[in-house]
């Protein structure tokens, strides 16, 4: 399967890589000089050693890795984080420890994944009223949990 072409500038060893043939997300690594120890409840901005040129009409979404979440309580704030097509800075991730133990991040550890998606830009039109639906203004759990 051929995907989109994304130009990358990466520090040696920090080019994103898909771990399996069917993976939707490519792994991002921590490009840090010294180990980071995240205490429970602590968050840190972690560099990845990666700069992207995302094609117009696309975005890159930075997402948590499920294994880190379930095994250690490690996730990303601002998730998914969006890398816009006109951004040229280094991709960094906001890692948070929601677990109960300290978590160590070493140089080259896989800390996040990146997924590319098409973007549709909206044309906003001001109206006096919106169409009525069965749900109406119900949000934040208004549809319940059970069927």
Across the range 5-16, mean pLDDT stands at: 94
Task: Count Cα atoms within 13 angstroms, Cβ side, for 44.
Answer: 17
pLDDT band at 139; cut points 50, 70, 90: confident
Rounded to an integer, the average pLDDT of 130-143 is 85
Cα–Cα distance for residue pair 26/115, rounded to 1 Å: 7
Query: What are the tens digits of pLDDT across the range 49-85?
Result: 999 999 999 999 999 999 999 999 999 999 999 999 9
User: What does the alpha-carbon distance between residue 2 and residue 133 come to, in Å, rounded to a whole number?
Assistant: 40
Strand ranges (E), the chain? 7-10, 26-29, 36-38, 43-53, 58-63, 74-76, 81-83, 90-97, 103-105, 110-118
Span 37-46, pLDDT tens digits: 999 999 999 9
Residue 3: per-residue pLDDT: 83
Confidence of residue 95 (pLDDT cuts 50, 70, 90): very high
Q: Given CA atoms 23, 29, 44, 85 in this order, what sign does their dihedral have?
A: negative
> Average pLDDT, stretch 90-109?
98
Structural domains of the chain, with CATH: 7-118 (2.70.40.10)
Tokens 């890692």 found at: 95
Q: 63 with 114: CB under 8 angstroms?
A: yes
- Reported as a pLDDT band with limits 50, 70 and 90, residue 143 is confident
Q: How confident is the model at residue 146 (pLDDT cuts 50, 70, 90)?
A: confident
Cα gap 63→65, rounded to integer Å: 7
């Amino acid at each position: 399967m051929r995907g989109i072409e994304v130009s990358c500038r990466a520090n040696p060893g920090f080019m994103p890589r898909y771990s399996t043939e069917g993976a939707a997300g490519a792994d991002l690594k921590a490009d840090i000089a010294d180990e980071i120890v995240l205490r429970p409840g602590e968050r840190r901005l972690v560099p990845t050693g990666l700069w992207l040129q995302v094609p117009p009409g696309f975005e890159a979404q930075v997402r948590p890795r499920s294994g880190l979440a379930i095994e250690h309580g490690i996730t990303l704030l601002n998730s998914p984080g969006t890398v816009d097509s006109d951004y040229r800075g280094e991709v960094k991730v906001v890692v948070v420890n929601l677990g109960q133990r300290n978590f160590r991040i070493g140089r080259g550890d896989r800390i996040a994944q990146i997924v590319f998606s098409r973007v549709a830009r909206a044309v906003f039109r001001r109206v006096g009223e919106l169409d009525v639906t069965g749900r109406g203004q119900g949000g934040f759990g208004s549809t319940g949990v059970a069927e």
